[in-house]
Amino acid sequence: MNPLKILTKDVPPQGLTFHWKRNASEFGFSPELVLLDQLEIEASLSPCENIFLFEGRVKTVVEEQCSRCLKKFPLSLEADFKIDYEPASAQPDVSGHEIELRPEEFDISYYTNDLLELDVDLRDVVLLALPMTPVCSADCPGICVMCGQLKAAGDCDCAQEAVDERWQKLTQLKKKMEEE
Ligand SMILES: [Zn+2]
Ligand SMILES: [Zn+2]
């Protein structure tokens, strides 16, 4: 049995603590996401009748592409999580009117067949922690929109040329006015 899927009956009353290093392949990430390291998980699983609180921290390294310079770079990721496992029978009926508003501090995951699928939720924790616009470094200058060269390389003079062109037009205009 996959150790990342736990039967509720296997959780002792005092709960469980984990310090895992697991291979990324165990979590079923989509192939577009490249993980450069294992997932390091420090967590605890505490039962309270049929509700299980799974909380801790996950760390890994993913390969990201810089949104400014398009270079691939390793991004260290660290995310805290708090997940409340509740039996699927407790799931609110969305068609009904008795939806209870709950504080948002916990993510709720509904389990069926007495099975806590920690791998699925840990995968979601990692996916949610990915930045929307990753940057290789806070001061990445990006690429020149005109020639596509790295601005940091410093050997593109598009900006300079653009200025020159403007001056040129002005000079021409001035010359034209003088001639008239
Ligand atoms: Zn960059
Ligand atoms: Zn350029």
Ligand 2 geometric centre to CA of 125 (Å): 39
Q: Within its chain, how far is the Cα of 127 from the centroid?
A: 4
- 161 C-alpha to center of ligand 1: Å? 24
Distance between Cα 162 and ligand 2 center (Å): 10
User: Does residue 2 surpass a pLDDT of 90?
Assistant: no
Q: How far is the CA of 152 from the centre of ligand 1 (A)?
A: 9
Residue range 111-130, pLDDT digits in tens: 999 999 999 999 999 999 99
Q: What six digits make up the tokens of 97? A: 């009117």
Ligand in closest contact with the CA of 139:
1
Give the chain's mean pLDDT.
87
- Among the bound ligands, name the one nearest to the CA of residue 137: 1
Going from the Cα of 164 to the center of ligand 1, the distance in angstroms, rounded, reads 28
- The reported pLDDT for the residue numbered 18 is 94
**Considering only CA atoms, which of 109, 41, 25 is closest in space to residue 80?**
41
pLDDT of residue 161: 59
According to the model, what pLDDT value does residue 178 have? 80
Contact partners, residue 12, CB within 8 Å, separation at least 6: none
pLDDT at 37 over 80: yes
> Token pair 């939806």 is at which residue?
99
* Domain residue spans of the chain: 5-129, 141-180
